[in-house]
Amino acid sequence: MSGVSIVRVLFLNTLFAPHVGGGAEVMVMEQAHGLQAAGHTVAVAALGPEAGTQQEMIEGIPVYRVGQQNRYFHFGPDHPPMVERLLWHWRDRDNPAIETPLREVLRDFRPDVVSCHNLAGWSIAAWRIIHSEGIPIAQVLHDQYLLCAKSTMFRGNHVCQRQCLDCRVLRSQHRLASAMVDGVVGVSSFILDKLVGNGYFQNARVRETILNARSGGLPLSHVTQLHRNHTGLRFGFIGTLAPNKGIELLLAAFTKLNLPDAELLIAGRGNSDYESSLRNDYNHPLIKFLGYVKPVEFFPLVDMSVAPSLWNDTLPGVVFESLGFGVPVIGSMRGGIPEMIVQGQNGFLFDPERHGALENLLSMVAGKPDILDDMRKAAVQSAGRFFDYHGWIAKYETLYRTLCP
């Protein structure tokens, strides 16, 4: 870079729009736009289902779409047999097939720094190739991929306290390989502490937590009408309907309680069979399954949202989005959720393994709905840091400039 302030940043992630699998794709897009607006030169390298490497423009961002270098496109709708999936994960330990296309991308774009995000499909071979080109690596941690082949450390409806045998084998090289990373960022303190505590990133010159942020300002400023003129109290859940999200824990807790003045609204989709079983098992007059609803349409309908995750969700955006709409949150003490909720101020925390803990909180809030008046104000105030978009971009600018030679 030799003293100039403009940085060429290549973002490397598993997927990129229009293929979106989760929050990482959203954050890469947000950051790419923010750095581009600040005068930096950016591009994205992501995987796609088509063979070869295609170059395209997505919302003004140059994208190198590299064809999946494994047995099949792991991120599509197909669900291959177990043997095929195991072979895919075996190759994804350190996949040499990505070397040629990734080197071509690096030599064509010539980045000053590569910002690595989700590595699934690229594998840790990406670190080795980037390092061998003499380019600094910033690794942004969104999940537990470096510890767990499923990226979740969650099995049999329980958080894994340690790596299982499968993950010890499939992740045997990752700790040592992480020494090639120059700077590491956790999108929550939970995920950064988890990896560093397991001996990763020992050579990183920078280790810091940068909480995710969104552009566009506080969501509440975009709401034209709050629909809280209903009688009684409305609890709400929005997100993917999946076992690890704790949706059954919430539904079971609500149905156990006799709360005639409370409703539970469920927004989101999931596996069709699983979703059907939920609707059948929890067919209750005060529980409403709404299907997919946009957050801007959902949050104004509810008085308090619930994030009952069973797994260690790194930093679920649904929590800070809820706060940004002025909706307090009941959240589980999992992953990065406790970093967003201040007990009794903008919400409540509970241990999902403690019997009756969620029921007690639902009952308490339903019995004292007036406590939500002050909590709504505190929710909006606490959400400000998650919508300080320019401050968030500035932190990453500092990181990338620090790592550049």
- What's the CATH superfamily of 219-386? Glycogen Phosphorylase B; (3.40.50.2000)
What are phi and psi for residue 67, nearest 5 degrees? -60, 140
pLDDT tens sequence across 84-107:
999 999 999 999 999 999 999 999
Is pLDDT of 2 > 90? no
Separation CA 405–CA 402 (nearest Å): 8
pLDDT tens sequence across 159-179:
999 999 999 999 999 999 999
pLDDT tens sequence across 234-253:
999 999 999 999 999 999 99
pLDDT tens sequence across 140-161:
999 999 999 999 999 988 999 9
| C-beta of residue 30 within 8 angstroms of C-beta of residue 132 | no
> Can you tell me whether residue 62 is helix, strand or coil?
strand
> Does residue 18 have a cis peptide bond before it, meaning omega lies within 30 degrees of 0?
yes
8-213+388-403 and 219-386, same CATH topology: yes
Structure tokens at 238: 């929005």
Domain segments of the chain as ranges? 8-213+388-403, 219-386
Closest CA to 263 of 287, 227, 231: 287
pLDDT tens sequence across 280-329:
999 999 999 999 999 999 999 999 999 999 999 999 999 999 999 999 99
**Region at 344 (left for phi over 0; alpha for psi -120 to 50; beta for the rest):** left
| DSSP secondary structure letter of residue 270 | B
Length of the chain: 405
What does the DSSP assignment read for 291-355?
Answer: ES--HHHHGGG-SEEEE--SS--SS-HHHHHHHHTT--EEEES-TTGGGT--BTTTEEEE-TTST
User: CATH code for 8-213+388-403?
Assistant: 3.40.50.2000
> Does residue 295 have a cis peptide bond before it, meaning omega lies within 30 degrees of 0?
no
